[in-house]
Amino acid sequence: MPKPLTSIKSLFSVAVVLLAVGCASAPEAPAPKAESPTLKYARYGHTAVADDEAIYVFGGTNERGFIGNIERIDPVTKTSTVLPVRILPRRYGSAVWDGNELIYIFGGVGVHEGRYRIEPTIEIFNTRTRKVSRTKMHLPRRLNSAARLGEQIYVVGGSTFDAEASENGEFRATALVTAYDFTNEQLNRMADLPDARDTKTFSHYGKLCAVGGYNHNDTFARFDCYNPTTDTWQAMPDMPSATSAHSVAVHDDKLYVFGNYSRLDQALVFDFNTQQWSNADMPYQGSRHNAAVTFGDEIFVIGGTTDTKGSALDTIQIFAVGE
C-alpha cells in the first residue's frame, strides 16, 4: 500500500507576378518554401507540455545561461510567443498538466547564491490567469520525469545531490517514485523503479511507463510499466539500444522516442499492439535533451542540443502521425 509522506497544498499565396514585355510574359516565379517554425529562445534541458489548447515550453538553458521564461506554441499557426510571466530559471526538470488549468513544474537544476543546486521548488502555472504560484518539493530531483495517471501526478526517478560523496559532491540516481493525489491532497510513495535512473515516463491506458535512462555510470535499454492497482512494475520489451538524454511522445498505441546521448539521430517507435520496436520513418533531425509533445495527430520535437558544450537549438520539428 502507498505510504503517505506529507500533505501539500493543491496547487498548466504566394502572389504570382506576370511581367509583360510586349506580348510575352515571364514564367511564374516559384513559390518560396515555407519557413520552419522556431522558438524565440534556443534551449535544451527544458520541459514542454500541452493542455487542450496549446503547448508550453518551460526553462532550459543556452549559451547565455539558465532560462526563466515560458514560451507558448500555437499548434495551429505553429508560432511561438514568450509569455509575460517568469519562472525560476532551471533545466532538467519536468512538467505535467493536471487536466484542467494548472501545469506543475518539478525539480531540475537551478542556481542559488551563485552555486548550482537541485531546485526544491514546485511551480504551478495557471494557463488561464497566467500566474505562477510556488510550493516546496518534498524530495527534489534533477532529470526526474513526471506524468499524470488518473487523479494523480507521478514523479519518477532522477538524481539527488550527495554533498558528502566527494569534495565537490556528486549526483546519485534514485529509483524513487512519488504520486500526488488530487482527491486528498496527499503525497504518497509508490513502488520504486526496478533500477535507479534518470528516465522518461508517460502514461498509457491506465499504466505509467518508464523507458531508457542513465544512472551516471550505465545507460539503460529497459522499458517498464507500472500498474497502480497492484503497485508493481512489469518489464516490457527492451529498447534496441541503451538510450539516454532522449524525449518521448505517445500517439494512440505507439510510443515515439527521439534522440540519444550517443546517437543524436536515433528515432524509435514501439507498437503496443505488436510489442515490437522499430526505427521511426520520419525525417528527424538529431539532438539530445530536446522535448517532445503530442498535440492531436502531430508530434512536436522542440529544441535540444548537438554539442556536449551546450550550443542550443531553436528548432520546432513537427511530424504528422495520424491516419
Instruction: Label each residue of 79-108 as H, E or C.
Output: CEEEEEEECCCCECCEEEECCCCEEEEECC
- Residue 115: per-residue pLDDT: 84
φ, ψ for residue 79 (rounded to 5)? -100, 150
Q: Quick: pLDDT tens for 159-184.
A: 997 654 444 558 899 999 999 987 77
Mean pLDDT of the chain: 88
Among 2.120.10.80, 3.30.360.10, 2.30.30.100, 2.60.40.420, name the CATH number for the domain at 3-245: 2.120.10.80
**For residue 83, which of 43, 123, 51, 55 has the smallest C-alpha distance?**
55
**pLDDT, tens digit, 9 for 90 and up, residues 16-70:** 222 233 333 333 444 444 578 999 999 999 999 999 999 999 999 999 999 999 9
Report the predicted TM-score, pTM, of the whole model to 2 decimal places.
Answer: 0.88
What's residue 111's pLDDT?
86
Q: Could you give the CA distance from residue 102 to residue 91 in angstroms, rounded to a whole number?
A: 20
* pLDDT score for 166: 41
**Amino acid (one-letter) located at 277:** W
Q: Locate 254 and state its grid cell.
A: 505507439
CA dist., res. 200 & res. 209, Å (int): 8
143, 198 in Cβ contact below 8 A? yes
Residue 286, pLDDT score: 97
Question: Which has the closest alpha carbon to 139: 153, 159, 123, 167?
Answer: 159
Quote the pLDDT of residue 31: 42
Give the residue ranges of the chain where pLDDT is below 70. 1-34, 162-169, 310, 323
What are the cell numbers at 101?
Answer: 488549468
Residue 182 has a pLDDT of 75
